[in-house]
RNA sequence: GGGCGGAUAGCUCAGCAGGUUAGAGCAUCGGCUUUACAAGCCGGGGGUCACAGGUUCGAACCCUGUUCCGCCUACCA
């Protein structure tokens, strides 16, 4: 580092090799030391661009390059906006409360929940939370993610607890939240209730058993079920009203086998005549359909499964067995009685808990619900006001909302989460809310701020011991960022709510559309009547090289540190840039290697300019428009401006990948392979006529390359910053390239005729390269004569106007028009010949 | 069952308001090292654009149908 300081003004010694490991460390520190990415709270002029950064959840052990991919993709846009002059509000959140963290800690420490106290467990969670945060920070820093860490939050910290609890109280007052005793989704493994969004449908192998029941008239009835263990919970038999076979059962009851219990026969159009025998056993409660029929038809209640997923006393002889064991035992018993009339293997869809993949059950418990079913229309409408990138992701949201079946249960029978700000009167059960200015509160550790129950006068209060669903907090992130929970207290902070909310951008992964995105819309509509953000960008997945989604459990896992160390963070980001938004992206090390090649090429192209600059060089002595430009200069600038325009359009529509591709194409094909190749020769021909040409070329190179690395800056923040600080900054004002302005497209710098002219030159150049190859001539061998023949008279004056550049590019001492030229170029009117 | 995305060179992907001979990178083959870059440069070979129809003067691109891959969603107990 010291060395580069010494050589700061000695461009001739600009390092030959790009030492990315040292540079990236140095630059990351430079950003930190200079608060490069700080949001300016006091700037009220600049328009704000605020991003609702996804809080990654604690177990950083699962991190892979796919995570860096999605964060980078969001960041390309954020960095672009920063360069476009926005005051960028880009916080980092850490999602570390709730079930995911608990599951992680349980697994890591092999915890038996009955042998550990709530406090000990929470301590372990807090400890892992801290470790997770540090690991993440280190990774994001090394990956160049430009967040403002002063704006960090953790979903278990005071601000988030306060915000979540205030949300609860606000919704309670708005009557959008209520406590109900009804069947809920339950995970027997995690011993907690769940919401619909926590359930995923999995295709599992099962067996469809044909079991014989008896009608009250003594007739055998075959009923197909995959859940014989629920026989004891059977409360009705259903048939389709149009099914002639079972009309006779009307008014009869049916006796269940083993239990010999009489259950009524009912009819419902939803029963599929063609499934099994057309008869359906309805239980308390095997699935959502059972719950619906139970509710609508006021069926009996026969609960036989407990919270641990075991059968209870009501199941008789099977009490104490797990659902799985009970199924086996009951099937055995039925077989002994010859009541199993058939069994066939069946692939069926089972709802399982997304965190542990345990099939969920229905049980009845008092739970808190946020009402969402009543307002589906509002949530659909809100999503319509948000701009979706890419727009084909929106139907997933609509589909989810349209299919919602349950209100949002936010009660979780767990430890590590935000507590409900609620007590109950021990006498009458009246709900006692915490006072808003006391939030956050832990009702288990504090008393309510009243002496007696306002309803019954009771003086004892019991705290709510459940914690809130982790999404209860995550759904608040825009309002956490905006300090919504504090707005009634501090006037200046309230301004922040007005300034950054709704947020400009929500970047996120596709699999949490139904959770993070949906719940955030719900909360925002309910709390503020406004959408939470104006744009949402949905990233695809990082896949392994075989096209499978990366995951720890599959072991097809590539760690970002490894790739950063080997190829650099910029190179990893290059890989991340290859997929446009919403597209999955395979990880091949080749792509990172290609990224590194590009960086090295950038380095060397810059080095050519830097090492050729003489003392006193001033790129701003004259604006490029005032220089007497040659055709080739005009051409490279025109091509650059055209590309710049394209890049800007792409970035505006979040198509960062196409933007980068366009500029990389320009960089390779136009700038390096042709412009530098054409003009570089003048730098070592010490002929006086070249001096002026050199100066102009340096100015052109400065203009083009500086603007070009600005376009690259969002993608490759490290190398562009290094080039900027070690060279360009000597002539510029901004303290960082990332705080410099995205270049404006300048129409007056496009010279369309130069493209035609240089096309002729390039055709000659290409042909001469081919000729050299076939003649075994070195590309650098200076030939004596380049003979040119053209069938188009208009070309003659054009060729004369770029005579010098043609000679230089083709490494020829002279260019002569001659009919001897017989090697056809790509242009039918143009022939050349080489004389050594 | 419904919906979305994808199928283009050996591999990974661009191209799709329809328009000369379909592109890039990697891989491969041939050539080139004193002068930005061998982690490089120059040049070459390589494709019936998943399949079948249709619209059109003209289709990788538009329409219809089919097959395969991935995802979202769905009560067949």
pLDDT category at A338 given cuts 50, 70, 90 is: very high
A373-391: pLDDT as tens digits: 999 999 999 999 999 999 9
Q: Is A205 helix (H, G, I), strand (E, B) or coil?
A: strand
The answer to whether A380 CB is within 7 Å of strand B is: no
Higher pLDDT among residues A718 and A131, named by residue? A718
A220-268: pLDDT as tens digits: 999 999 999 999 999 999 999 999 999 999 888 999 999 999 999 999 9
Q: Is A111 helix (H, G, I), strand (E, B) or coil?
A: coil
* Number of neighbouring beta carbons within 10 Å of residue A138: 12
Q: Is A462 helix (H, G, I), strand (E, B) or coil?
A: strand
* Nearest residue to A368 (alpha-carbon basis) of A412, A401, A405, A404: A412
| Rounded Cα distance, A816 and A779, in Å | 20
| Nearest protein residue, CA measured to C1' of B69 | A547
| Rounded Cα distance, A177 and A171, in Å | 6
Span A308-324, mean pLDDT? 92
pLDDT at A675: 94
| Rounded Cα distance, A412 and A353, in Å | 13
The answer to whether A292 CB is within 7 Å of strand B is: no
A230 closest-nt by C1' vs CA: B77
Cβ–Cβ under 8 Å, residues A105 and A417: no
The answer to whether A280 CB is within 7 Å of strand B is: yes
The answer to whether A672 CB is within 7 Å of strand B is: yes
With b meaning 16 or more CB within 10 Å and e meaning fewer, what string describes A428-461?
Answer: eeeebbbebeebbbebeeeebeeeebeeeebeeb
Report whether pLDDT(A6) > 70.
no
A200 closest-nt by C1' vs CA: B73
Report DSSP letters for A292-360, one per residue.
HHHHHTT------B-TTSBB-GGGGGGTT-BHHHHHHHHHHHHHHTT-EEEEEEEEEEEEEETTT-PBP
CA–C1' A531–B34 (A): 65
A404-435: pLDDT as tens digits: 999 999 999 988 899 999 999 999 999 999 99
- Which 528-557 residues of chain A approach strand B with CB closer than 7 Å? 547, 549
What nucleotides of chain B have any atom within 7 angstroms of a protein Cβ?
A: 2-5, 12-15, 25-26, 30-33, 35-37, 39-44, 69-77
pLDDT category at A5 given cuts 50, 70, 90 is: very low
Report whether pLDDT(A599) > 90.
yes
The answer to whether A673 CB is within 7 Å of strand B is: yes
CA–C1' A581–B67 (A): 28
Q: A493: which residues sit within 8 A by CB, 6+ positions away? A: A483, A486, A487
pLDDT at A687: 66
| Rounded Cα distance, A383 and A532, in Å | 10
Higher pLDDT among residues A467 and A119, named by residue? A467
The token duo for A329 is 């035992």
Q: What are phi and psi of A56, to 5 degrees?
A: -75, 145
The answer to whether A205 CB is within 7 Å of strand B is: no
CA–C1' A824–B43 (A): 16
pLDDT at A495: 79
Report whether pLDDT(A137) > 60.
yes
pLDDT category at A1 given cuts 50, 70, 90 is: very low
Span A794-802, mean pLDDT? 90
* Nearest residue to A742 (alpha-carbon basis) of A630, A619, A651: A651
- Which 484-503 residues of chain A approach strand B with CB closer than 7 Å? none
Interface pTM, i.e. ipTM: 0.95
Q: Is the dihedral of CA A600, A603, A609, A612 positive or negative?
A: negative
Q: Is A86 left (phi over 0), alpha (psi -120 to 50) or beta?
A: beta
Q: What are phi and psi of A568, to 5 degrees?
A: 95, 155
Higher pLDDT among residues A571 and A822, named by residue? A571
* Number of neighbouring beta carbons within 10 Å of residue A695: 14
Report whether pLDDT(A26) > 90.
yes
User: Over the Cα atoms of chain A, what is R_g?
Assistant: 35
Report whether pLDDT(A490) > 60.
no
- Which 115-174 residues of chain A approach strand B with CB closer than 7 Å? none
Strands A177-187 and A361-370: antiparallel
Q: Is the dihedral of CA A450, A455, A457, A461 positive or negative?
A: negative
Q: What predicted TM-score, i.e. pTM, was given to this entire model?
A: 0.94
pLDDT category at A59 given cuts 50, 70, 90 is: low
pLDDT category at A7 given cuts 50, 70, 90 is: very low
| Angle CA A422–A423–A429, to nearest 5 | 120
| Rounded Cα distance, A615 and A643, in Å | 31
| Nearest protein residue, CA measured to C1' of B75 | A289
Span A735-762, mean pLDDT? 94
Report whether pLDDT(A133) > 80.
yes
- Which 59-98 residues of chain A approach strand B with CB closer than 7 Å? none
Span A756-778, mean pLDDT? 85
Q: A253: which residues sit within 8 A by CB, 6+ positions away? A: A215, A216, A262, A263, A264, A265
pLDDT at A129: 87
Span A272-281, mean pLDDT? 90
Higher pLDDT among residues A487 and A409, named by residue? A409
pLDDT at A30: 97
CA–C1' A542–B45 (A): 34
CA–C1' A540–B15 (A): 21
Q: What are phi and psi of A51, to 5 degrees?
A: -120, 135
- Which 780-809 residues of chain A approach strand B with CB closer than 7 Å? 780
pLDDT at A4: 39
pLDDT at A8: 41
A20 closest-nt by C1' vs CA: B39
SS (H, E, C) A554-578: CCCCCCHHHHHHHHCHHHHHHHHCC
Span A154-166, mean pLDDT? 95
The answer to whether A608 CB is within 7 Å of strand B is: yes
| Rounded Cα distance, A499 and A493, in Å | 10
Q: What rounded mean pLDDT belongs to chain A?
A: 91
- Which 685-744 residues of chain A approach strand B with CB closer than 7 Å? none
pLDDT at A2: 37
Alpha-carbon separation of residue A709 from A72, A160, A388, A605, A662 (angstroms) = 18, 40, 29, 11, 13
* Nearest residue to A771 (alpha-carbon basis) of A729, A722, A719, A812: A812
The answer to whether A17 CB is within 7 Å of strand B is: yes
Lowest average pLDDT, out of A86-95, A255-264, A487-496, A656-665, goes to A487-496
* Nearest residue to A416 (alpha-carbon basis) of A738, A778, A109: A109
HSE-CB of A347 using CA atoms within 13 angstroms: 2
| Rounded Cα distance, A668 and A643, in Å | 13
A694-734: pLDDT as tens digits: 889 999 999 999 999 999 999 999 999 999 999 999 999 99
């Amino acid at each position: 580092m010291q060395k580069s300081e010494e050589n700061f003004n000695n461009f001739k010694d600009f390092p030959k090799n790009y030492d990315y490991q040292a540079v990236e460390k140095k630059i990351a520190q430079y950003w930190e030391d200079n608060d490069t990415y700080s949001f300016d709270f006091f700037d009220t002029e600049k328009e704000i661009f605020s991003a609702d950064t996804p809080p990654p959840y604690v177990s950083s052990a699962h991190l892979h390059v796919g995570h860096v991919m999605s964060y980078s993709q969001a960041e390309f846009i954020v960095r672009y906006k920063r360069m476009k002059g926005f005051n960028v509000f880009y916080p980092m959140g850490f999602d570390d409360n709730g079930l995911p963290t608990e599951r992680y800690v349980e697994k890591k420490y092999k915890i038996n929940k009955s042998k550990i106290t709530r406090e000990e467990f929470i301590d372990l969670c807090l400890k892992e939370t801290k470790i997770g945060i540090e690991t993440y920070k280190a990774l994001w820093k090394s990956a160049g993610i430009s967040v403002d860490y002063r704006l960090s939050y953790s979903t278990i910290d005071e601000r988030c607890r306060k915000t979540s609890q205030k949300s609860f109280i606000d919704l309670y007052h708005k009557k959008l939240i209520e406590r109900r005793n009804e069947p809920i989704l339950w995970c027997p493994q995690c011993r907690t209730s769940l919401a619909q969004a926590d359930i995923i449908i999995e295709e599992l192998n099962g067996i469809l058993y044909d079991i014989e029941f008896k009608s009250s008239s003594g007739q055998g009835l075959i009923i197909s079920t995959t859940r014989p263990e629920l026989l004891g919970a059977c409360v009705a038999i259903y048939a389709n009203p149009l099914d002639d076979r079972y009309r006779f059962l009307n008014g009869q009851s049916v006796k269940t086998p083993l239990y010999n219990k009489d259950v009524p026969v009912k009819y419902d159009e939803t029963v599929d005549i063609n499934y099994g025998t057309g008869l359906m056993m309805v239980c308390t409660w095997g699935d959502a359909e059972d719950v619906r029929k139970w509710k609508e038809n006021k069926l009996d209640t026969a609960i036989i499964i407990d919270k641990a997923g075991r059968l209870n006393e009501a199941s008789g002889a099977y009490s104490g067995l797990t659902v799985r064991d009970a199924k086996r035992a009951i099937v055995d018993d039925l077989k002994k009685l010859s009541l199993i009339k058939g069994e066939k293997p069946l692939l069926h869809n089972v709802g399982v808990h997304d965190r542990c993949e345990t099939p969920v059950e229905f049980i009845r418990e008092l739970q808190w619900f946020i009402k969402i079913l009543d307002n589906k229309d509002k949530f659909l409408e809100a999503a319509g006001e948000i701009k979706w990138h890419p727009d084909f992701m929106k139907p997933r949201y609509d589909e989810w909302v349209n299919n919602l079946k349950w209100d949002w249960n936010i009660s979780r029978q767990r430890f590590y989460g935000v507590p409900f700000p609620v007590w109950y009167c021990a006498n009458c059960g009246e709900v006692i809310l915490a006072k808003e200015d006391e939030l956050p509160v832990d009702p288990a550790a504090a008393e309510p701020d009243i002496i007696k129950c306002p309803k019954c006068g009771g003086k004892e209060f019991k705290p709510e011991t459940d914690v809130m669903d982790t999404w209860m907090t995550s759904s608040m992130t825009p309002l956490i960022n905006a300090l919504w929970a504090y707005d009634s207290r501090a006037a200046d902070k309230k301004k922040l709510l007005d300034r950054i909310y709704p947020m400009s951008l929500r970047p996120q992964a596709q699999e949490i559309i139904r959770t993070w995105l949906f719940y955030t819309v719900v909360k925002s509509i309910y709390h503020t009547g406004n959408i939470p953000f104006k744009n949402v960008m949905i990233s695809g997945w990082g896949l392994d090289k075989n096209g499978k989604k990366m995951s720890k459990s599959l072991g097809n896992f590539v760690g970002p540190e490894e790739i950063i160390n080997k190829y650099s963070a910029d190179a990893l980001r290059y890989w991340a840039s290859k997929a446009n938004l919403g597209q999955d992206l395979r990880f091949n090390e080749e792509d990172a290697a290609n990224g590194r090649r590009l960086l090295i090429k950038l380095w060397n192209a810059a080095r050519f300019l830097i090492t050729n600059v003489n003392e006193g060089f001033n790129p701003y002595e004259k604006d490029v428009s005032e220089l007497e430009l040659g055709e080739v200069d005009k051409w490279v600038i025109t091509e650059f401006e055209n590309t710049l325009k394209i890049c800007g359009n792409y970035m505006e529509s979040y198509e960062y990948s196409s933007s980068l591709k366009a500029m990389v194409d320009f960089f390779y094909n136009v700038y390096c392979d042709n412009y530098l190749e054409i003009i570089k020769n003048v730098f070592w021909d010490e002929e006086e006529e070249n001096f002026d040409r050199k100066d102009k070329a340096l100015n052109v190179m400065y203009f083009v390359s500086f603007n070009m690395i600005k376009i690259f800056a969002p993608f490759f923040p490290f190398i562009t910053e290094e080039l900027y600080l070690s060279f360009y900054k000597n002539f510029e004002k901004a303290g960082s390239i990332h705080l410099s302005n995205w270049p404006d497209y300048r129409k007056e710098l496009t010279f369309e005729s130069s493209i035609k002219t240089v096309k002729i030159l390039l055709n000659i150049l290409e042909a001469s390269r081919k000729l050299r190859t076939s003649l075994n001539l070195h590309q650098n061998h200076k030939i004596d004569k380049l003979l040119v023949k053209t069938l188009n008279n208009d070309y003659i004056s054009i060729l004369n106007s770029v005579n010098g550049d043609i000679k230089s590019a083709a490494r020829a001492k002279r260019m002569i028009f001659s009919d001897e030229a017989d090697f056809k170029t790509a242009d039918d009117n143009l022939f050349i010949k080489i004389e050594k």
